[in-house]
């Protein structure tokens, strides 16, 4: 149903997460090329306005007035092009949207509560209402999303991360996705399931920015600039976080840490500005709505400021941090295991794939049954919504002193944590354990949802548990001299929230989010220590949640270089590069192209000057080569050949009739030209370097790519219909080929003749005239370090780079090799994979000298070749030589 | 005296700031090359330890014990290599140092106060003490710094910024500089002058990191990795800020914003960790020293939390921000004007250059006279130190209500602001105005000092002024309904401090620094709005203080791409590149090298395959070419020639004596070889492409570099001693040349013969065998955008890049062009310099097609050339062609 959105990209809508089956990098490139071509065809906006102006001048009447209008218009357009206009618009729009979504969620939750309260007389009806309501909402969310835009499912941060890496996932940034995500998110969160708003909102903000860019590009051409739009996308991420927590700084920092590999500092200002506007607007809306008197933090706390914590409490915070780190790693692992379990169980998968809405409904049923307040829910404060639980957990008071539960205000929300029979500790522990697996499970539902907020709440509950234990252990605080400073469990809750969410997302900025959320920064050191320890533990055990999702979704993303693994500093390009590079030369024939396409699967091929010199000239995309081949072997050209032959034959037969000469002169010349061309091509073709020549130059260590095809069974027998071999290369458009087959009967060539003709055509030399060649592919040297390579790849969004030595191609490094190299040394297997040549290079001196010698030898070779080649020009050159003396 | 530190680098110690006269980029490269060579010679640490292990195995006695020791050692070494060990050590060390410096400053300031109080009886003596004390301290600081390490003068942030950009300023990171900076800073700040501790501490932390790296490299080889050390330097900047304000997050963000263009996100974690350790240690030291009960913020404030500010106060904050922006720009401008005034006034400069210590002494005298408390100082709270003023300015109370000054506690520091005759407003205004120019002036003294802290204090005072005015205007606050929330001028002070310091440094992170410094974050929105507005104003008027210092010091730094100037998105490399590229070809002769060296001044030259193909093979440094030439024309080679000739003559004269044949066979062959070589070289030389051939290929638009030398008066007359022409190229080592001149008399060649010989030598073809060639210089395409170029340049620390099209060199872009292009469009002149070719490209369609046509034409040319060249190989090729059929 959503097939029109998925044109060309093989997106497989799986049960829980979509999976991309085509290599996205390749698709992105094709898409970019298509866009480029479209851009050429469409006249630019500036041109249109210019023509308008000319028109105005022509008319002459009311000239002044019109000129004034045009000028005003121009000024407005130039204003629209300014960054700050865009940022303010984006900020205001997203804040408003976030507020509206909150409003919608609030209504949904309230109506559930209202139903629950009004049906208190009948427990069964109560249960039915409690369970049916979320099931309906989640099913609606899943169904709606799936119908409108399946890409809206899930967190969205992995996709944005991939887009920021330079891969164009176009269908992730459409208006349909936007609508699906907003409505799906509202109904999903309205169900009260343990889902988060934060990461979907990052996606929504990115969508908003992309759509706003598109809208603004109607006014000013600057919004058509691709690199600028990518920069604005990364700003949008900050806006997304900022409008959920009203945390401008934390939002910006979180978006930097979670999304980018390299951050452009000039973008920092933009992010700061947009995030501030967003947070401001979001909180002002609350003031205007009379929820608040003035702008304050979202969840203001009231911790002690003059003595925020004692130095002796720090070990407790450190333990909390380490435990959170373990918990975070466990969460990521659990989530992945659930996905893989269901993916691997073929029968379950088959069944669930048929009834896609069954899975979310079942999960919701399970979770809401367990949280039914009169049932098991009474032991885990299930009455409270996420924000309410968070508010109570950050509470200033101590809930339990020396094991005896304290009295709460009767109208306080915190009462939900109190159970007449059960201890507060048990309630908290149950809450943590149950919510933990529930969140990990709920996240796998195919609805727009995130995990940050549930994890944040679980962390706060865990922190509260530790804090309450500390308060019970040291009822008079730990400070030794004089004044009594009781322990505040609320501080532990804040610390735990930051630590666990930091551990799951592998960020340290959650600390800043906590400060901005609570409006207090005095407990900065405990929070930061816990967050850092949690990160250290979690990073050494598991990838971040977003990286884990990227792996599950198989998005084309380059893994991060970890910190501390210093072996990686010793790896060079020469250790990881592939030496057997597929290449074509300037003077190759179509047969070579054909062979190369048959053997290799790389998306681009290197174009060399010649296979002796190995000088890299550029790279050609596979699609371009296919186009060249199809042009050469296609039916139109064959028909033309037939026509030409027929004309020639006719001319031969009517050779003595001078009457028809006038009409056929044109054709005549054309044929002549054609013949000439073929003959010259044949002479040049005969000079094509062929495998037989190669053993003469063993020092080049030339890869034997071109040798291989000769061993592949080739359709050389004349009976074979060799057109079909070619067709294998073009499986993409089978219908067109089918059409051609139908027409084959019409032309009078036998299959044998066609085969012969095709054989001849294949031997012609390639004409690269109309071919799109990338004229300067990125080149590395053998000694480029892994770090630098990683930098270049992630900054420029490459998927391969050629390794050259003095202009000569010696290898290629693609994303795959780089991934292997990074993961090889990041792997937690204890054994560090030593790259094959590293030991050789370690012996310092000899390696360098070797390199120099090699270089010298290479140069010598080029030089000798030149001497050989330049012989014919000797005469002219010596003339000029005399002149210059 | 400090000449040993300055070897090779032309550092000119000027009056106020040092200035670099040599192009640092070039020096850095040479230095890097030298280091590389050194590195090759020295065996690596791992090797040493390996050999140790082998030794252990050989001995055999106590084997187990020894093996155990070695293993422990290895484990320890591998631990030392871990990042976190380094970061903890750095953090602890810097925190301790910062605390010690604070301690020293405190003692200095206390003793001044003590003198001032004890001499209260005699005003003249009091004045003398008040003035002499700082003059002595500042003079000592200036003298000490100058003697030990002149590089320690000033802020240090500009230098670190340049180092992080990839330029090695080696003398900035020595132990001497470290000592000079620490001691100089302590005494300079101890004088009570309006100087700052923050930016020198960034330098000190970087020095600390560099020295720690050097120290740690004794244990583990990983610390010898250059790129890792650069990463650690950027961490050190965060540590530097963090240990001054105890602000880990603010420190990290400030260091990112102020120092880097692109931030590696994997470094974020390191910065966070190190900064937290530093801040923690710094504050724990205060607790241990019994200054504090527990860890709190450095300047804890006590603003109202439940109602931090009213929405209607926001316009006042915005005005404060805009005014701070103007003030920040003015400060930067004033500072630069003072420097330039003194630099331009020749007579003053001359006089002051002779007596270098006079200038700081005079400035100190002026400033301390004006701040003498019984004199003018009583109107500007001169009794208070910087930290004390800041503390009082951030005070919670309102100093003035409805114009009537309130009563302070008698023991409160705030009393200093109260003057019996004069209003608080006047005191504050005087303080702001006087401190403003005093700080700008004091910053120009040649002592280690920064400007952040004084600017911060001035901003706080200005904010307080606005706040007090607001409080006087709205005595009952601005909130309309019900409760009275009086205005808190302290909040305005905090906002002003963040805004002004943000405007001067062009950073927004000062907001975070303020939150961490005060321990309160509830007033986040006013602070951020003011900081953003201040930045917007300041950035559009002036460069940041650090960029201004970079300009004054003429450090090799690439200016930042401003935000919002969207014209720059339209600039491509083809608009800014230089098309006349100096190049040499593989088959050129020494004369070409000679000519190229005479005409151009570029540091590197492109090496092409040939001037017809224009295929770029690599680049060669100028020094390498000079070496090649000196080898070819040098005396040893000439002597060899003479010897050979003599032998040949001797052989001719004794041709019939068969007895001597055995001994001279070797020489004989050698001579033969020599002759052969020359003859082949001459034939190939005659094929050298010369200007006469160029008009045949106008489409290539080849730059006419090689044409130029022929017009330059060349020493072609045989009477000329052409060795002297060469010598012009080697002015660097005149003494060596002088030596050679002395020996000239010894050999029996006449000057004419030498000239002839040299002429012959110059016609030989160049042998690049022993030449260091950069095998893969960075290549751009014509259509690479300015943004991407800037990214590549700043990330890889380039100073030039070649522009190629399908392997063919068509231009070069150097740092200079890039700087021009960026500044051209950043300039605030209203007229945006339209790049020459931009209008051509704007007409969308035609440009793209043109490009494609060009490409096709280029390819055609290469192809034709190939055909021409490959003719001799026809036979072999056609053989193999038959085979493959």
Q: What is the pLDDT of residues B600-609, one digit of tens each?
A: 666 777 777 7
Higher-pLDDT residue of A841 and A42 is A42
Residue among A429, A321, A438, A446 nearest A386 (CA) = A438
Q: 3-state DSSP call for residue B531?
A: helix
Phi-psi group of A720: left, alpha or beta (phi > 0 → left; psi -120 to 50 → alpha; rest → beta): beta
> Which residues touch B531 (CB under 8 Å, ≥6 apart)?
B321, B498, B499, B502, B508, B510, B511
B41 pLDDT above the threshold of 50? no
What is the structure's pLDDT at A802? 80
Most confident segment among A303-307, A860-864, B762-766: A303-307
Would you call B292 an interface residue with chain A, using a CB distance cutoff of 8 Å? no
**CB contact (8 A) between residue A609 and residue B862:** yes
Does the beta carbon of B280 lie under 8 angstroms from any beta carbon of chain A?
A: yes
H-type helices in A634-762, by residue range? 635-653, 661-685, 723-728, 734-743, 751-762
Task: Tell me what the mean pLDDT of segment A383-387 comes to.
Answer: 86
Interface test with A, best of B46, B231, B269 (most A CBs within 10 A): B269
Chain A positions touching B615 (Cβ under 8 A) are: 609, 615, 617, 807
B71-75: long-range contacts (C-beta < 8 A, 24 or more apart)?
B73/B49, B74/B49
Mean pLDDT of chain A: 73
Q: Is A522 close to B609, i.e. CB distance below 8 A?
A: no
Which ipTM was obtained for this model?
0.70
For A261, nearest residue in chain B (alpha carbons): B265
Quote the percentage of chain B above a pLDDT of 70: 68
Task: Give me the mean pLDDT over the A630-635 stretch.
Answer: 76
B287 touches chain A (CB under 8 A): yes
Instruction: Give residues 767 to 826 of A whose Cβ lies within 8 Å of B.
Output: 768-770, 772-773, 775-776, 779-781, 785, 787-788, 791-792, 795-796, 804-807
Interface probe for A, chosen from B235, B524, B607, B811 (most Cβ of A below 10 Å), is: B524
pLDDT tens for B313-352 read: 899 999 999 999 999 999 999 999 999 888 888 887 787 7
| Average pLDDT score, chain B | 73
Residue A269 has its nearest CB partner, among B508, B519, B806, at: B508
What would the DSSP string read from start to end of A191-214?
TT-S-BSHHHHHHHHHHHHHHHHH
Interface probe with A: pick from B822, B884, B885, most Cβ of A within 10 Å = B884
* Spatial contact of B255 and B238, defined as CB atoms under 8 Å apart: yes
Q: Would you state the structure tokens that stand for residue A178, as one six-digit string?
A: 């936007």
Of the pLDDT bands very low, low, confident and very high (cuts 50, 70, 90), residue A205 is very high
Give the closest of A83, A297, A792 to B522, CB-based.
A297
Question: pLDDT-derived band of residue B411, with 50, 70 and 90 as boundaries?
Answer: low
Name the residue in chain A with its Cα closest to that of B225: A569
Distance CA A601, CA A597 (A): 7
Q: Which helix (H) or strand (E) holds A730?
A: none
B512 backbone φψ class: left, alpha, beta (φ>0; ψ -120 to 50): alpha
Per the CB < 8 Å rule, is B775 touching A781?
Answer: yes
Nearest residue of A to residue B86, measured between CA atoms: A564
Q: Which residues of B touch A781 (CB under 8 A)?
A: 775-776
Look at A535 and B560 and tell me if their CB atoms are within 8 Å: no
- What's the mean pLDDT in B35-59? 48
pLDDT at B325: 96
Q: What is the DSSP code (8-state) at residue B765?
A: B
Q: Token match 């000298």: residue?
A: A849
Are residues A294 and B279, on separate chains, in Cβ contact within 8 Å? Answer: no
Q: Does B695 touch chain A (CB under 8 A)?
A: no
Q: Helix (H, G, I), strand (E, B), or coil: what is residue B384?
A: coil
Instruction: Give the pLDDT confidence score for residue A693 in this predicted structure.
Output: 35
Suggest the residue from A528, A558, A592 to mutate for an interface test with chain B (most B CBs closer than 10 A). Answer: A528
- Does the beta-carbon distance from B804 to A776 stay under 8 Å? yes
Q: Any alpha helices (H) in A289-357, and if so which ranges?
A: 314-344, 346-354
In this structure, how many other beta carbons lie within 10 angstroms of the beta carbon of residue A42?
12
- Is there a contact between B640 and B836 (Cβ–Cβ < 8 Å)? no
| Pick from B305, B511, B796: CB nearest A519 | B305
Q: Which residue has the higher pLDDT, B725 or A127?
A: A127
Q: Can you give the pLDDT at residue B225?
A: 65
Count of residues in chain B: 885
pLDDT in tens, A413-458: 777 787 778 888 888 999 999 999 999 999 988 899 888 999 999 9
List all residues of chain B from 716 to 745 with a beta carbon under 8 Å from chain A: 716
**CB < 8 Å to A294, chain B:** 307-311, 479
Which chain B residues have a beta carbon less than 8 Å from that of A569?
222, 225, 227-228
Residues sharing a CB contact under 8 Å with residue B181, sequence separation 6 or more, in sequence order: B145, B149, B152, B156, B200, B203, B204, B207, B448
Taking contacts as CB-CB distances below 8 angstroms, the residues of chain A near B313 are none
Mean of the pLDDT values across residues A27-45? 49
- To the nearest whole percent, how much of chain A has pLDDT over 90? 20
pLDDT tens for B490-538 read: 999 999 999 999 999 999 999 999 999 998 888 899 999 999 999 999 9
Q: Measured between beta carbons, which residues in chain A are less than 8 angstroms from residue B855?
A: 773, 775
Residue with the larger pLDDT of the pair A15 and A360 = A360
Task: Tell which B residues from 596 to 615 touch A, by Cβ distance under 8 Å.
Answer: 607, 609-610, 613, 615
Comparing A462 with A837, which gets the higher pLDDT?
A: A462
Q: How confident is the model at residue A466 (pLDDT cuts 50, 70, 90)?
A: very high
Predicted pLDDT at A35: 52
Whole-number Å distance between alpha carbons of A882 and A731: 61
pLDDT of residue A59: 55
pLDDT at position B838: 34
Q: What is the per-residue pLDDT for A611?
A: 75
Q: Does B257 sit within 8 Å of A253, measured CB to CB?
A: no
Cα atoms found within 13 Å of the Cα of residue A14, Cβ hemisphere only: 20
Cross-chain residue pair A689–B877, CB shorter than 8 Å:
yes
Q: Which residue of B has its CA nearest to A294?
A: B310
pLDDT above 80 (res A371): yes
Is the pLDDT reported for residue A50 higher than 70? Answer: no
Give the closest of A310, A520, A528 to B521, CB-based: A520
Average pLDDT over residues B793-809: 73
pLDDT at B746: 53
Nearest to A690 among B300, B615, B877 (CB): B877
Question: What H or E segment, with its residue span, contains residue A537?
Answer: helix A524-541
Give the residue from chain B lying closest to A256, CA to CA.
Answer: B265
Comparing A246-250, A583-587, A610-614, A694-698, the range with the smallest average pLDDT is A694-698
Better-scored residue on pLDDT, B207 or A292: B207
Mean pLDDT score, A658-671: 42
Residue B535 near chain A (CB below 8 Å): yes
As a whole number of angstroms, the distance between CA A853 and CA A859 comes to 10
Looking at residue A824, its pLDDT comes to 60
Structure tokens at B343: 């630099």
Q: Given an 8 Å threshold on Cβ–Cβ distance, is A804 in contact with B775?
A: yes
Token look-up 């099931």 returns A135
Residue with more model confidence, B154 or B703: B154
Closest CA relative to residue A369, chosen from A186, A187, A132, A196: A132
Q: Which of residues 69-128 of B touch A (CB under 8 A)?
A: 81-84
More confident residue, A218 or B131: B131
Q: How far is B684 from chain A (nearest CA, A)?
A: 6
Non-local (6+) Cβ contacts of B539 within 8 A are B506, B562, B563
Between the two ends of chain A, the Cα-to-Cα distance in Å is 79
How high is the pLDDT of residue A478? 76
Domains of chain B: 4-20+84-288 (1.10.3080.10), 314-402+414-553 (1.10.3080.10), 570-834 (3.10.580.10)
B562, A266: Cβ pair inside 8 Å? yes
Residue range A155-188, pLDDT digits in tens: 888 888 888 877 767 778 889 999 999 999 999 9
pLDDT reported for residue B872: 39
Please tell me the least confidently modeled range out of A110-119, A152-161, A670-679: A670-679
Q: Is the pTM of this model over 0.90?
A: no
- What was the pLDDT predicted at A438? 92
Look at residue B354 and tell me whether its pLDDT is greater than 90.
Answer: no
Q: Minimal Cα distance from A875: which residue of B?
A: B687
Computed on alpha carbons and rounded to an integer, the radius of gyration of chain A in Å comes to 34
Mean pLDDT of B475-479: 77
Higher pLDDT: A568 or B701? It is: A568
Residues contacting A116, CB < 8 A, separation 6+: A126, A129, A130, A373
Q: What pLDDT score was predicted for residue B120?
A: 82
| pLDDT surpassing 80 at residue B368 | yes
Residue B690 three-state SS = coil
d(C-alpha A664, C-alpha A671), whole Å: 10
Q: Do A686 and B878 touch (CB under 8 A)?
A: yes
| Residue B840 clears pLDDT 80, i.e. is over it | no
Instruction: Read off the pLDDT of residues A703-736 as tens digits, 9 standing for 90 and up.
Output: 333 333 333 333 333 333 444 444 444 443 334 3
Q: B-chain residues within 8 Å CB-CB of A844?
A: 39-40, 43-44, 47
Q: By the CB < 8 Å criterion, does A6 face chain B?
A: no
Convert the pLDDT of each residue in B97-151 to its tens digit.
999 999 999 999 999 889 888 888 888 888 988 899 999 999 999 999 988 888 8
- Give the residue with greater pLDDT, A2 vs B361: B361
Q: At B584, is the secondary structure helix, strand, or coil?
A: strand
pLDDT at residue A364 is higher than 90: yes
């Amino acid at each position: 149903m959503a097939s029109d959105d998925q044109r060309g990209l093989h997106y497989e809508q799986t049960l829980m997460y979509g999976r991309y089956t085509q290599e996205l990098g390749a698709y992105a490139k094709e898409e970019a090329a298509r866009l480029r071509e479209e851009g050429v065809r469409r006249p630019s906006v500036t041109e249109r306005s210019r023509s308008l102006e000319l028109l105005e001048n022509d008319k002459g009447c009311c000239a002044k007035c019109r000129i004034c209008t045009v000028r005003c218009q121009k000024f407005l357009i130039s204003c629209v092009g300014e960054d700050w206009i865009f940022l303010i618009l984006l900020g205001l729009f997203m804040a408003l949207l976030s507020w509206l979504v909150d409003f919608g969620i609030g209504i949904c939750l309230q109506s559930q509560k209202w139903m629950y309260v009004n049906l208190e007389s009948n427990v069964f009806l109560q249960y039915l209402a409690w369970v049916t309501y979320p099931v309906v909402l989640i099913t609606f969310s899943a169904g709606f999303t799936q119908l409108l835009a399946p890409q809206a499912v899930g967190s969205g941060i992995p996709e944005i991360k991939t887009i920021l890496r330079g891969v164009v996932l176009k269908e992730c940034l459409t208006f349909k996705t936007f609508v699906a995500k907003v409505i799906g998110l509202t109904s999903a969160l309205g169900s009260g399931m343990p889902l988060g708003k934060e990461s979907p909102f990052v996606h929504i903000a990115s969508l908003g920015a992309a759509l706003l860019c598109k809208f603004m590009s109607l006014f000013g051409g600057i919004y058509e600039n691709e690199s600028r739009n990518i920069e604005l996308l990364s700003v949008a991420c900050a806006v997304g976080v900022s409008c959920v927590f009203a945390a401008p700084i934390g939002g910006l920092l979180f978006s930097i840490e979670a999304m980018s590999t390299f951050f452009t500092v000039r973008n920092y200002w933009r992010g700061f500005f947009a995030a501030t506007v967003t947070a401001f607007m979001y909180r002002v809306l609350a003031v205007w709505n009379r929820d608040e008197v003035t702008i304050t933090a979202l969840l203001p706390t009231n911790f002690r400021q003059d003595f925020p914590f004692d130095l002796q409490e720090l070990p407790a915070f450190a333990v909390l941090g380490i435990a959170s780190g373990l918990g975070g790693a466990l969460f990521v692992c659990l989530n992945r295991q659930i996905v893989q379990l269901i993916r691997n169980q073929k029968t379950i998968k088959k069944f669930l794939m048929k009834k896609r809405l069954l899975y979310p409904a079942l999960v919701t049923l399970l979770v809401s049954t367990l949280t039914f307040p009169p049932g098991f829910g009474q032991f885990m404060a299930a009455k409270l919504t996420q924000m309410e639980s968070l508010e109570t957990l950050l509470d200033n008071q101590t809930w339990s002193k020396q094991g005896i539960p304290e009295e709460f205000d009767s109208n306080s929300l915190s009462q939900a944590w109190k159970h007449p029979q059960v201890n507060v500790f048990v309630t908290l522990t149950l809450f943590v354990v149950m919510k933990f697996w529930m969140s990990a499970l709920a996240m796998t539902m195919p609805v727009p949802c995130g995990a940050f907020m549930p994890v944040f709440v679980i962390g706060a509950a865990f922190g509260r548990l530790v804090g309450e234990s500390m308060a019970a252990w040291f009822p008079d605080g730990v400070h030794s001299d004089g004044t009594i400073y009781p322990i505040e469990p609320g501080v532990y809750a804040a610390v735990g929230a930051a630590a666990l969410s930091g551990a799951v997302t592998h960020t340290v900025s959650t600390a800043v989010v906590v400060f901005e959320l609570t409006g207090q920064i005095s407990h900065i050191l405990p929070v930061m220590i816990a967050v850092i320890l949690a990160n250290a533990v979690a990073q050494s055990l598991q990838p971040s949640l977003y990286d884990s999702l990227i792996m599950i979704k198989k998005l084309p993303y380059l893994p991060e270089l970890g910190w501390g693994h210093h072996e990686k500093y010793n790896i060079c390009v020469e250790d990881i590069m592939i030496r057997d590079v597929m290449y074509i030369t300037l003077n190759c024939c179509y047969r070579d192209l054909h062979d190369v396409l048959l053997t290799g699967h790389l998306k681009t091929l290197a174009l060399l000057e010649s296979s002796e010199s190995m000088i890299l000239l550029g790279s050609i995309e596979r699609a371009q080569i296919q186009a060249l081949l199809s042009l050469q072997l296609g039916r139109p050209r064959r028909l033309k050949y037939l026509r030409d032959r027929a004309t020639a034959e006719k001319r031969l037969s009517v050779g003595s009739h001078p009457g028809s000469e006038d009409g056929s002169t044109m054709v005549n010349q054309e044929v002549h030209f054609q013949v000439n061309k073929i003959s010259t091509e044949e002479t040049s073709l005969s000079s094509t370097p062929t495998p037989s020549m190669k053993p003469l130059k063993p020092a080049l260590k030339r890869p034997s790519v071109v040798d291989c095809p000769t061993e592949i069974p080739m359709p050389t027998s004349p009976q074979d219909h060799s057109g079909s071999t070619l067709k294998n290369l073009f499986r993409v458009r089978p219908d067109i080929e089918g059409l051609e087959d139908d027409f084959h009967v019409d032309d009078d060539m036998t299959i044998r003749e066609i085969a012969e003709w095709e054989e001849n055509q294949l031997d012609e030399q390639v004409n690269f005239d109309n071919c799109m060649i990338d004229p300067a592919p990125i080149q590395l040297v053998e000694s480029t370090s892994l770090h630098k390579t990683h930098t270049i790849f992630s900054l420029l969004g490459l998927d391969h780079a050629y390794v050259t030595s003095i202009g000569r191609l010696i290898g290629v490094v693609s994303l795959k090799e780089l991934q292997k190299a990074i993961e090889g040394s990041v792997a937690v297997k204890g054994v560090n994979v030593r790259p094959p040549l590293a030991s050789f290079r370690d012996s310092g001196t000899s390696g360098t000298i070797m390199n120099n010698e090699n270089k010298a030898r290479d140069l010598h070779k080029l030089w000798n070749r030149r001497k050989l080649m330049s012989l014919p020009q000797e005469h002219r050159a010596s003339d000029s030589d005399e002149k210059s003396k």
